[in-house]
Amino acid sequence: MLKKIIEAYNAHKINIMQRSIFYRFSLEKRGNILNPDKFLTDPWSGNPVIGKDILNNIVGKSGISPDLMEILADSTDDEYAYSFAWIRHLQAVGGNGSMRLTRDFILTFINTYRKTKSFWLRLNSWTMPLIGERLVNWMFSYSFFASGSNDSFQKTVLSSIMEQFSHLWKCYEAEPSLYARLTALKAIMTCLCSMQNTQSTKIKKAIREICEIAENWIDSSGMVANRNPNDHFNVFKGLIEIRFVSKNAGIDLPKRIFVDGLAKMAACIRFLRLGDGKLSNLVGDGYPLNSSLMPTRQMIDTALSVVESKNGGPITIPGFTRLSTKKIILIINTKPCYSRSRFNNPSEPGLNIFDFEASFGLYRMINRADITVLFNGLRIKIGENAKYFSTIKHERGELHFDGEVQQRSRYFDFNVQRKIAIDLNSERIRGMDTTQASQPFQAFPRFVFDQHTVIKEMHSRSILIIHGNSEYILSISQRSQNCELFIGQDSDIPYPIVEICYSATNTCDIKISWMIEPNP
């Protein structure tokens, strides 16, 4: 209770401070406090293909727009643009054109925000995690874009780094999101270790708070509390960067977090990887979306390669189940996780339990297979009082998953069961979804396929799917009338979607069986 009171007081104090007309003048801008010779080279390699796309997107544009989103035409993501994570992709391309373009982007950004009143309140570019990522990306890539530049440009960049650092240092303690606070502290550590004079007291404080956040937000399995695999990786990556910077500065870090903790987090990442080497996209609950920067396979490989792995036997992560054979990997969400999009948005996940992703060989084919239940036109969500359980077993050459959730409410009771079996020796998945309810309802088992998947043919109860050089058939059967097959393309999801639509009017118990297998 006392801790919450202190946090509320700090937030109130900082809010009043930021509203002062003198706040922006209180931010430190003396760039000579920093020593660029202490800036480290980016440990993460970029993708030259993405870098060339960025260069191609500005061909024909006159001048540099102050809106980075306008320049990065392929991105609709403010976080991606204003974190400047894309610099490493331009660095991978190399050449004077990439360097000049990066300088123009950075200089335009600095000049624009400095002309903006209360720029630190702009949520699309000045949240704590965005500032933290931006500072680290600028400092890691400084030798690339500042090499050969004039003194004026370098002074402007260094003074901006100090200005943003000063803002973080004044305000990070009032940040309620642990992820955002950790990202801010990562940038703070990077700046403190790069200053002309030793900052021992501030560094010790930052390390103490980083460890406290890690211990509070990472559970005993090594997974972050919100169960979001992408957030998990970004926390993992952030701790690696903190260790990287600290080691170079000769600073010792607690092994319980930066050795044992990282080893557990690495095991979770391996658990959540599909056949394409990327992470599951199933997301967790309770926290706002912290990062939309999807880690590439190359970045995941690099991060795992620098963390010592410990063989502690099979790993279990609360809320996730992994079914894997030589040819198929399924990752299933076995715990309710509450969607962070609009309540009745048709593109959001359905019940948010027993969703799964699947890869066949080296290719991800199913991005999400979920179930939506509608009662009086409203989407049903799993409540806190829901009962749910799941089991896994081997049986007759197959790996079986059985999951069931029961929801009881004042107006509407329902029970959903999902059974999945994958063949141990072939690329075949079969399943059955059973829905029971106390009132007439509609339900929609849905398959959201990978963007490289093509729906070639649709028949009354089967669909021919092409993925790469392989063909698969999705076949459907039901033990009820009122079942209608529907193939939809949601404007918010640029992937092929198959929805199995059915409604219960006279009966409140419907079973739908489905199977995905190679086309013979």
Residue 183 within a domain: no
Query: Which residue among 289, 316, 343 closes a domain?
Result: 316
- Global pTM value: 0.87
What's the mean pLDDT when you consider all of the chain? 83
How many domains is the chain partitioned into structurally? 3
Tell me if 283 sits within 8 A of 79, measured CB to CB. no
Query: Which residue among 287, 316, 345 closes a domain?
Result: 316
- Please, is 167 exposed, middle or buried when counting C-beta atoms within 10 Å of its C-beta (0-12, 13-18, 19+)? buried
What is the mean pLDDT of the segment spanning 206-224? 93
Asked if 300 and 330 sit in the same domain, the reply is no
* One-character DSSP codes across 394-407: EETTEEEEEEEEEE
Residue 155 within a domain: yes
What does the alpha-carbon distance between residue 140 and residue 136 come to, in Å, rounded to a whole number? 6
Asked if 258 and 334 sit in the same domain, the reply is no
Return the percentage of the chain with pLDDT > 70, whole number.
Answer: 82
Per-residue pLDDT tens digits for 222-233 = 999 888 888 899
Asked if 471 and 342 sit in the same domain, the reply is yes
Asked if 85 and 224 sit in the same domain, the reply is no
3-state SS class at 487: strand
Asked if 310 and 329 sit in the same domain, the reply is no
Per-residue pLDDT tens digits for 271-292 = 999 999 999 887 644 333 333 4
Read off the CATH number of the domain in which 432 is found. 2.70.98.70
Asked if 298 and 331 sit in the same domain, the reply is no
Q: Which domain, by its residues, includes 19?
A: 1-174
Residue 113 within a domain: yes
More confident residue, 63 or 19: 19
Residue 180 within a domain: no
Asked if 268 and 324 sit in the same domain, the reply is no
Asked if 131 and 242 sit in the same domain, the reply is no
Q: What is the pLDDT of residue 267?
A: 94
CB atoms within 10 A of CB 475: 14
More confident residue, 488 or 441: 441
Tell me if 323 sits within 8 A of 401, measured CB to CB. yes
Residue 508 within a domain: yes
27-41, 319-333, 462-476, range with the lowest pLDDT: 462-476
Asked if 453 and 328 sit in the same domain, the reply is yes
Asked if 424 and 326 sit in the same domain, the reply is yes
Residue 289 within a domain: yes
Tell me if 443 sits within 8 A of 516, measured CB to CB. no
Residue 273 within a domain: yes
Residue 191 within a domain: no
Asked if 253 and 385 sit in the same domain, the reply is no
Phi, psi of 133 (to 5 degrees): -65, -40
Q: Given pLDDT bands bounded at 50, 70 and 90, which one contains residue 73? A: very low
Asked if 289 and 357 sit in the same domain, the reply is no
DSSP 42: P
